[in-house]
Chain A
Amino acid sequence: MMYGYTWDTATPLAYAWSILPIILIGLTVTLKAAAAGFAIALVLGLVFAMLRRSRFRSVSWTTACVVEFLRDTPLLVQLFFLYYVLPEYGLTLPAFLTGALALGLQYSAYTSEVYRGGIEAVPRGQWEAATALNLTRMQTYRDIVVPQIVPRILPAMGNYMVAMIKETPVLSVITVLDMMALANMIGERTFEYLVPLTMVGVIFLILTLVCSAGLHRLQKVLPKAGIPLR
C-alpha cells in the first residue's frame, strides 16, 4: 500500500490499473520538477547569455567560465553537491527544490548557448536602430531582441525541454518521489518490476511526444519575424 492505494498483482492488467493512481502522483512531481527546472533554465540562460555579451571583459569572462563549468560537469555530481555539500555550509534546501535547481542550473548552461546563437543572428542594424532611438540595453533585449529570436530558438529550446523531462528521474537519487522513484518502490515491495517500469516508460514516451507535437504546432503558428507586437 502506498498513498492509500493497495495493489492487486493478480494479473498484469489489474496490477497496472491498481498502481496507476500512485504513478500519476509521481507524474505530478515529475511535471512540477521539469516545469520549475525549465523555467529556471529559460530565465537564467538568458541572463547568462546577456552577461556573456557584457562590455566588461571581467563579467563576460566570469560568465563564460561558470557556463562552461555547469555544462561540463555531470548533472548527478551537481545534484549531490547541492544536496549534500551545501547543508554543510548552512544552506539546506528541500529535495524537490534542490532537484529543480540542479536541473535548471545545468540546462541554463545549454539554453544560454541557444540564446547566444539567437542573439548573434539578430542583424546589427536592429541594435543600431535601438541605439538611435535611445532605448536602454535592457529595453532593447526585452522589446527588440527577445521577441525576434523566439521563433529561431524554439526548435533547440524544445529539444532541451524534452531532454530535461527525460532526465527528471535522476532526482529520485536525492529522495524526490517522482514517477521513477515510486515505480521503483512499488517494484521493491511487490518484486514485480516489469509493469511499473513499463508504465513509467510509456508515460515518458507520451509526455515527450505531446511536447514535441505542441512545439511543432507553436513553430507553425508563430510568425518568422518574431512575437508580433501591434
Chain B
Amino acid sequence: MTENATPPLIQFAGVTKRFGALTVLDDFNFEVAPGEKVTLIGPSGSGKSTVLRILMTLEPFQEGRLTLAGMDYQEPAGTGPFKASERHLRDIRSHVGMVFQSFNLFPHMSVMRNVAEAPVRVLGLSRAEAEARALDLLALVGLVDKKDHFPSQLSGGQQQRVAIARALAMRPRVLLFDEPTSALDPQLVGEVLAVIRDLAHEHDLTMLLVTHEMRFAREVSDRVCFFDKGRICEQGSPEAIFTAPSHPRTCEFLASVLG
C-alpha cells in the first residue's frame, strides 16, 4: 500500500484490456505490497477476474504497464499478443500461482501426481523430493489419505484443496484465487475457506482473492477493492468498506449481496 515505504510487488499503471470492442480494464491503476492480502469484489463482468488472469499471463493487455517484483510484463522488443517472449513470460510465471474456480485438476493424474508433477518438470526436483513436498502440502490441506485417489473420486471441496496444494508446491510469491468457492456446493465452501484462511497467516505470501464470500473477505484481507466497470471505484480496509462504504455503487452492491 501507499502508506508504507516498501516498493509494491505488483503494480498496474494505466493498464487497459480490451476484448474486441469491449473494454474490460480501463486505464487501470493498482498496487499490491509484498505479503499483502487483497480481496477484489464487485459485480460480475467488472474486471476482477481479468486482473488475476493478466497477472497469471493467461490474458495479454493492450496499453499501460504492469510490473511484478520490478519485472515488466511486456518487453521493449517483445512481439505477439503478450509483447514478450515465452521465456520472459515463464520467468514471470515462476513467481505466480493460481487457484481456479473450476479447480482444473488433471483428471488422469493421482492427487500425488497432480501436486508433484510440476515441481519435477519445471523446478527440476527429484521425484522423491517433489513427493515429500507434496505430502507436506497435502497434510496442510488435510488430504494426505487421498494421495492415491484420482480427482473424480474426490468432492469439489477436496479437489479445490488439492488445487491449492498444487499451486503452493511451486512456492509462488503471489497466489491468485479466482472465485475458489463459486463452483462448490454450499456445505463444501467452509473447508476450502478454512485452508485459505490458514494461508492468509503466511507472512510472505501475497494473496489476491476474487470472491463473493463477503464475510470471509472481511476476515482474511488487509484491503478490499470494489470493482465497477473496469476500475476500482473504492478501496480500503475491510472495516471501512463493509461498515462505511462511501461510493454509491459500493453501497448498492453490498446491499444486494449482503441482502
Contact A129 B80 (CB under 8 A): no
B118 CB–A CB distance under 8 Å:
yes
Cross-interface CB contact of B170 among A55, A133, A225, cutoff 8 Å: A133
A203 at the interface (CB under 8 A from B): no
Could you tell me the distance between the alpha carbons of A146 and B57 in the complex, rounded to whole angstroms? 23
- B105 pairs with A229, CB closer than 8 A: no
Bitwise, A101-139 to B at CB < 8 A (1) or not (0) is 000000000000000000000010110110111111101
A151 CB to closest chain B CB (Å) equals 9
| Cβ contact within 8 Å between A126 and B106 | yes
Q: A229-B109, A229-B110, A229-B113 are in contact. Are A129 and B121 (CB under 8 A)?
A: no
Report the nearest A residue to B106, measured CB to CB: A144
Chain B residues touching A, range: 20 to 34
Task: Determine whether the beta carbon of B93 is less than 8 Å from that of A230.
Answer: no
A129 adjacent to B112 (CB under 8 Å): no
Find out whether the CB atom of B100 lies under 8 angstroms from the CB atom of A128. yes
A223, B110: Cα distance in complex, Å: 13
Contacts of A137 in B (CB 8 A): 86
Establish whether residues B108 and A228, one from each chain, have CB atoms under 8 Å apart when the complex forms.
yes
A137 to B87, CA, bound (A): 11
Q: Which of A133, A136, A223, A230 interacts with B112 by CB under 8 Å?
A: A230
**B166 contacts which chain A residues (CB < 8 A)?**
133
Fill in one digit per residue for B88-111: 1 if any A CB lies within 8 Å of its CB, else 0: 001001101110101011111110
B122 x A128 contact (CB < 8 A): no
Whether a CB of chain B sits under 8 angstroms from the CB of A226 is yes
Once the chains bind, are A135 and B108 in contact (CB under 8 Å)?
Answer: no
Question: Which residue of the partner chain, among B86, B94, B105, contacts A129 with CB atoms under 8 Å?
Answer: B105
The residue from A55, A131, A228 contacting B56, defined by CB atoms under 8 A apart: A131
A143 engages B121 (CB within 8 Å): yes
CB < 8 Å A-B pair total: 81
User: Do residues A228 and B150 form an inter-chain contact, with CB atoms below 8 A?
Assistant: yes
A151 — nearest CB in chain B belongs to which residue?
A: B108
Is there a chain A Cβ closer than 8 Å to B198's Cβ? no
Assembled-state Cα–Cα distance A128/B166 (Å) = 14
A215 to chain B, nearest CB (A): 20
Q: Are B104 and A128 in contact (CB under 8 A)?
A: yes
Does B155 lie at the interface of the complex (its beta carbon under 8 Å from any beta carbon of A)? Answer: no
A168 contact set on B, CB distance < 8 A: none
Chain A: minimal CB distance from B83 (Å): 13
The residue of chain A having its C-beta at the shortest distance from the C-beta of B112 within the complex is A230
> Would you call B255 an interface residue if the criterion is a C-beta within 8 Å of the partner chain's C-beta atoms?
no
Interface residues of B in 37-75 (CB under 8 A from A): 56-58
Q: How far is the CB of B198 from chain A (nearest CB, A)?
A: 21
Q: How distant is B129 from chain A, measured CB to nearest CB, in Å? A: 17
In the complex, are the beta carbons of B104 and A136 less than 8 A apart?
no
The reply on A227 being an interface residue by CB < 8 A is yes
B117 within 8 A of A: yes
A134 touches B110 (CB 8 A): no
Chain A residues in 8 Å Cβ range of B100: 125, 128-129, 132
Tell me whether A132 and B93 are in contact in the complex, defined as CB-CB below 8 angstroms, given that A125-B100, A230-B112, A230-B113 are known contacts.
yes
Cβ of B167 within 8 Å of any chain A Cβ, yes or no, is: yes
A134 touches which of B107, B108, B148, B170 (Cβ 8 Å): B170
Instruction: Enumerate chain B residues within 8 angstroms of A158, measured Cβ to Cβ.
Output: none
Of A123, A129, A133, A230, which one neighbours B122 at CB under 8 angstroms?
A133
Return the chain B residue nearest A139 by Cβ: B121
Q: Which of B57, B96, B104, B122 has the most CB of A within 10 A?
A: B104
Q: Are B170 and A228 in contact (CB under 8 A)?
A: no
Q: What are the residues of chain B within 8 A of A125 when measuring CB–CB?
A: 100, 102, 104
A227 and B108 contacting across the interface, CB-CB below 8 Å: yes
- The answer to whether the Cβ of B152 comes within 8 Å of any Cβ in the partner chain is yes
A148 at the interface (CB under 8 A from B): yes
A147 within 8 A of B: yes
Q: Which residues of B contact A135 (CB under 8 A)?
A: 118, 121-122
Task: Give the 8 A-B CB pairs with smallest separation, nearest first.
Answer: A226-B108, A133-B118, A129-B104, A225-B107, A125-B104, A132-B98, A134-B93, A230-B110
Binding site for B on A (CB under 8 A): 55, 123, 125-126, 128-129, 131-137, 139, 143-144, 147-148, 223, 225-230
